[in-house]
Structure 1
Amino acid sequence: MSSPCGHRAGSGRSHAHGGCDQPGLCACPAVRAEIMPPATRCLRPGSWSDAARCLCRDCPGRLARKQAPALGRGQRAMRALSPEKSFLSRPITGAGLFVLGALLAASVSSLANAAAPEISWPSKLIDPHPLPDDLVLPLPCGGAMAFRAVDVPLPTETLLADRPITLGAPTPQEGYSQFTLQTWLSAPFKPQGKGEQTQKMRRYYLAKYDVTRNQYTAVMEGTKGHCPTAPTLTSPNGGQKPQTSISWNEAQDFLALWTSWLLKNAPQTLPQHQGTPGFLRLPTDAEWGYAARGGAKVSPEGFQQPMWPLPDGALKEDYIVAGAQDGLQKIGSKKPNPLGLYDMLGEVDQMMQEPYRLHHGERLQGQAGGIQLRGGNYLAASADELSTATRSEAPAYNVRTGEPTRQVTTGIRVAIGANALDSPQAVTQAEKEFQALYAHYAQQAARNSPAAQSLLTSMSAHATDAAGKAELARIKAQLVAEAQKREETEQLAVHAQLEALMALGGNIGELDHVASFIATQLEQLSKAAPGQDLSQARANLARRRAQIRVQSEAYAELIRSMIRQLPDRDLLAKAAQEEKTALQQAGRTDSLPLLSIALEDLQQAASGHMPAPEEIARQFHRDTP
């Protein structure tokens, strides 16, 4: 006896008893979804209908009756991806993941040419300080939100490429929470352009401002079909101030609702990764920290400072909402950081995607804690109390009320991310790149510990039991991991040393320019007024020249130290090329001559010639504007 789905009873598969238009379960292998009591049916033969959403799916051996117009392929695909569908609540295999990806791609393709929802809010409610390269995403109810691209220069174009960044502060005060931390960063989206530097660049997006009350209400109410009264700049509820007093879970609800709304109504407005639109989430700690410091827009030495570089004469108070006199302000009330991001410090604490962790020296401690907050808030005594390392924890729940924690000083800033793998081709590429990396580090491990590698090879050849082979494989993997860690540590050291040489060279050049100017003025004044007292100017000149000598000697000592400690000249060549690429990607071409001088001095030092301090000053004087 066959079920209405075409499967025989007793075949080991559950099936509906009655008809596919009756309550029950259809067990067609490609479907596995609950069949709801019918209110609509599909036109296509051999299909079943989820009456609650009119989702038509193939179901062999049955004809569906005509009663409702068929949905388009894009609409069916989008509804198949609804989180309420029961078949999505079950574990999804790798093949199933790619089927879902194909469905999403098909839905996006069918909707790509649709007009984006109209943005009707006044521009000042969306972006008080618009820039030509802002990314603007629509919101329900005619609203929108502005984003800034955060570019991440990478050494190669590969899928596994990333770059090291150092966050935190080097001082032990509050080191348990914000000490120096070495981490790695990449990003999903490719900038437009065909140049070599653009091809090696990736970017993510971060909201230009904190989410406002107007924007939060538009999503939470508008996605339910209840648009609030059109917001105004002088809204009595402070609609242009950051949305606070929401829990981390409510922040996730906001992001999920907005992402779903965008995918259904304006998928073409989202940046794409591997042909699939991105999605909205909270930023990671690394993403927030990198963007707060100015990312690739600032120099390596500027990136390590507690505050992004400020223009001459600027005060921290110009950029940070902090102190009792400020209170909570409208978004964009202060000046932006170098990436065009407002209120990164002060105003409201910003929730991160991952939980808070303590610092165990220069690494994170193993326990995952409560809600991680970055940036500080307006209750700080002054702007000087806050920095890009400011980091704290909020409890996940209020133990007195039993409710998720909500704080009047905490808000959210939106990031746009993407899946790491969105196609079978991406999986193949990741596997190929990883195998190449593993082979490379295995060679390094053999070079670092030839005796151990030889012993492992011999033992593996004679091992017969599965447990012994597994243990040998584990030891080999550990040696490979150690080789990777060693090489990455060496690479980081070489990069840091090259950046230090460029920083010293730039300082030496600037000091020598000033000294030359003072010397010229002294000469002219001596001729114009022979009896004039110029002792103070001469003392100033002597002080500048002493500074030049001290920094030139430090530069020379660093050169000598690098030559003594450099394990592999190929490592220097690789680091130099990566440094050059990073400078070009960041638009810091004025630093390229400094890098060239440092590399030339390293080469000369390797052959036994180290420039004298005076020669060092002259060469940087020539190439420093």
Structure 2
Amino acid sequence: MKFKLALGLSLIGLGYSCAVQATWDEKFWNPKPLADDVILPMPCDGAMAFRKVAIPQNKPLEDYNITLGQEGDEWGYVEQSRQEHIAGSFPDPKNKGRYYLIAKYELSDVQFRALSGECPTADMKGRLPKVNIGWMDAMAFANQYNLWLRKEKLASLPKDDGQPGFLRLPTETEWEFAARGGLAVSPSEFRDQHFPMPEGLNGYVWFAGAQSSNGKLQLTGLLKPNPLGLHDILGNAAEMMFEPFRLNKLDRLHGKAGGYVVRGGSYVTTQGDIRSALRGEEPYYSDSGENVSKTTGVRLVMVSTTLTSRDRVKEIEKEWQALGSAPKTAAQGKAPDSLQNLNAISAKVQDDGLKKELEKLRGELRANGQLRDEQRDQAIRTSLQLGAFLCTKMKDDGEFLDRLNQLYSKTCAADSQLDANCARRQEQLGQHQKALEFISSYYADTLVDMGSTYNKPLIDPQIAVVQQQMAARGKTNLNGYLDTYWMNLQGYWKDGKVARDAWLMACKKNN
């Protein structure tokens, strides 16, 4: 299959001179194409495939809380689990969230050479990951690619607030979030040693040993991808990160910044050491010059700048001022606001020293309030997902009970005992009726608890987040049940009635 890009290669201004335009066969740069791949052109009629990494937040100052690393003392000083936050770069109107792009495969040799001043002929050998490259050279490659895209194919770049994105090495947070599977996996799968591998490690990762890499670097894209569609994110070539290496100090990173970080392991990493949390350090320089390694390669990300315009800055300022002072929950009612009280006291204070102390206290209160708000939002999302799941359970159990009732009425009517097992059938009916009543009561309890604890302004924004989470995991069939839960909750707010039967019927109407 040929994938020809009309690039119009006038590269003289960037120092390129391509005497021959080589059209790359897609198998040399995207051997496992997917319908939703994002393709960026390269010189010499080449291309690079990317995958979207969705983040279920949309506002500029919103971000998504995740846990990276792993528990355990053996490598705790390097990999101890810690809380991080991630945000997307580009708006996704369809899913009402944001995303960034990460390369589908490790940077290949032919892609690297396409930006080195020659037009290489794409072949199978060119699919090998580009290794023996230093961190500075990797950044220089990203820089050259960015310059070429802006000169030749600016329209191909995704934009945020009208500003085109740019390529660079990934941060550790960007890389590990994508490596673990992002939103495409469940929370428990995300925290596992590695992303789900139904066919076993050998089907997804090149690691050390005769049963896998056999000590050799392998072509990109031969094995199966992770749930986001990323190939060789673990194993084959280790991948260098944007930021310097820091040790782990329990709940935070250490203050000393060293060499650069490499992630994912390589074809010489043992099978037992393959994990998403694996971190290593490489020096920028060796005794003889820039440090390079035959086991380390590159995977780029496409991101955007943050302060893109005056309007965006104003929007961020407005959001920042509101941090830590979100609307009260239903349970809080009209309780006094400590932050507002402190602001009123601070405004009356004349002593500069005391005023500074009050401002410091105000900042601490806002930070604690922000943490509280994030934990509250997570609790709301968890309750919404539980409500949607219980609604599916009510539908399934309710419809099954309806069928049992129909069968019982048909075969065990009072004047027509056609079935000798009618007594047993009646007992089964009673058991299933009790099971349905239990699920219906549990559903009602969670709904009433949600309605009593939180109000609409707090819950409404989290509906869209949960919908994005479900869509990313291929669970869009649950959106109807989520809508039903939300409708039932609003009905409860309106009339205060615990309408178990009506809620059951509403759940059963979903397809």
Q: Please report the TM-score for the alignment, with normalisation by the length of structure 1.
A: 0.62
Partner of 2:99: 203
Using the TM superposition, give the Cα deviation of residue 282 of structure 1 relative to its aligned residue in structure 2, in angstroms.
0.9
- Residue 482 of structure 2: aligned partner: 595
Q: Deviations over 1:300-337 (max 9, x none)?
A: 55544444445xx6333222222313322100000122
Separation in 2 of the partners of 1:425 and 1:184?
24
- Residue 204 of structure 1 deviates from its aligned partner by 1.5
Q: Are 2:71 and 1:183 equivalent residues in the alignment? A: no
Q: Counterpart in 1 of 2:219?
A: 330
* Counterpart for residue 121 of structure 2: 230
Partner of 1:150: 53
Mark the CA change 1:455 to 1:375 in structure 2 (over 3 Å): closer, same or farther: closer
CA contact (8 A) 2:235 2:265 kept: yes
Q: Which runs of 5+ in 1 are unaligned?
A: 1-74, 83-116, 521-529, 531-543
Amino acid at match of 1:232: D
Call closer, same or farther: CA 1:499–1:218 in 2, change over 3 Å.
same
Match of 2:164 in 1: 277
Counterpart of 1:396 in structure 2 is: 283
Instruction: Spell out the pairing of 1:440-451 with structure 2 (5 A cutoff).
Output: 440=325, 450=337
What SS does the corresponding residue of 1:184 show, helix, strand or coil?
Answer: strand
Task: Please name the residue that 1:113 is paired with.
Answer: none
Q: Distance in 2 between matches of 1:390 and 1:379?
A: 17
Q: How far apart, in 1, do the equivalents of 2:87 and 2:278 lie?
A: 22
Q: What does 1:241-256 correspond to in 2, within 5 Å? A: 241-256=128-143
Name the CA distance, whole Å, in 1 between partners of 2:392 and 2:76.
Answer: 31
Cα distance, 1:431–1:609 mapped onto 2, change above 3 Å: closer
Structure 2: give runs of 5+ residues left out of the alignment: 1-10, 407-418, 420-431
Tell me, yes or no, if the aligned pair for 1:358 and 1:364 is still in contact at 8 Å.
Answer: yes
Residue pair 2:327, 2:457 contacting (<8 A) in 1 also: no
Are 1:370 and 1:393, in contact at CA under 8 Å, matched by a contact in 2? no
1:137 is matched with 40
* Contact 1:442–1:483 (CA under 8 A) maintained in structure 2: no
Q: Secondary structure at the match of 2:127?
A: coil
Identify if the C-alpha distance between structure 1 residues 502 and 357 changes in structure 2 by more than 3 Å, giving closer, same or farther.
farther
Deviations 1:119-151 (A, max 9, x none): 622322221123343333233344322222223
Partner of 2:110: 214
Counterpart of 1:3?
A: none
| Letter aligned with residue 308 of structure 2 | D
Q: Secondary structure at the match of 2:261?
A: strand
* Amino acid in structure 2 at the alignment position of 1:490: R
- Give the SS at the match of 1:128: coil
What is the match of residue 533 of structure 1? none
Supply the distance in 1 between the matched residues of 2:107 and 2:325 (Cα, whole angstroms). 45
Pairing 1:429–2:315 present: yes
Give the AA of the match of 2:177. Answer: Y
The whole-number CA distance in structure 1 between the counterparts of 2:337 and 2:465 is 32
Contact conserved, 2:50 with 2:101, CA < 8 A, in 1?
A: yes
CA–CA distance in structure 1, aligned partners of residues 142 and 263 of structure 2: 19
**Cross-structure match for 2:425:** none
Q: Which residue of 2 aligns with 1:574?
A: 460
Residue pairs, 1:604-619, within 5 angstroms = none
Q: Which residue matches 1:165?
A: 66
Q: Name the Cα RMSD after superposition.
A: 5.0
**Could you report, residue by residue, the CA deviation over 1:194-230 in whole angstroms, capped at 9, with x for unpaired residues?**
xxx44x22221111100012222332x21xxxx1652
Provide the rounded CA distance (Å) in 1 between the counterparts of 2:185 and 2:111.
31
SS at match of 1:190: strand
Q: Say which of 343, 346, 367 aligns to 2:235.
A: 346
Q: Distance in 2 between matches of 1:454 and 1:203?
A: 39
Residues 1:166 and 1:551: Cα distance change in structure 2 (over 3 Å): farther
* Aligned AA (1:211): L
Note closer, same or farther for the CA distance 1:240–1:557 as it changes in structure 2 (3 Å cut): same
* Structure 2 letter corresponding to 1:165: I
Q: Work out the CA distance in 2 between the residues paired with 1:307 and 1:172.
A: 18
- Report the 3-state secondary structure (helix = DSSP H, G, I; strand = E; otherwise coil) of the residue aligned with 1:350: strand
- What is the alpha-carbon distance in structure 2 between the residues aligned to residue 547 and residue 386 of structure 1? 44
**Distance of 2:262 and 2:440 partners within structure 1:** 42
Matched residues, number: 479
When residues 360 and 403 of structure 1 are mapped into structure 2, their CA distance, relative to the original with a 3 A threshold, is same
Asked if the contact 1:491/1:571 (under 8 Å) is kept, the reply is no
CA–CA separation in structure 2 for the residues paired with 1:413 and 1:547: 51
Task: Report the secondary structure of 1:129's partner residue.
Answer: coil
Q: Greater RCO between the two (CA within 8 Å, min separation 6)?
A: 2
1:257 to 127, 141, 144: 144
The one-letter amino acid paired with 1:429 is E
* Equivalent AA in structure 2 for residue 266 of structure 1: K
Greater C-alpha Rg: 1
Counterpart-to-counterpart distance in 1, 2:258 and 2:397: 48
**Equivalent pairs: percent with the same residue?**
30
**Structure 1 208/450 Cα, relative in aligned 2: closer, same or farther at 3 Å?**
closer
How far is the alpha carbon of 1:485 from its aligned partner?
A: 1.9
Normalization by structure 2: what TM-score? Answer: 0.73
The amino acid that maps onto 2:89 is: P
Measure how far apart 1:414 and its partner are. Answer: 0.8
Give the drift of 1:553. Answer: 10
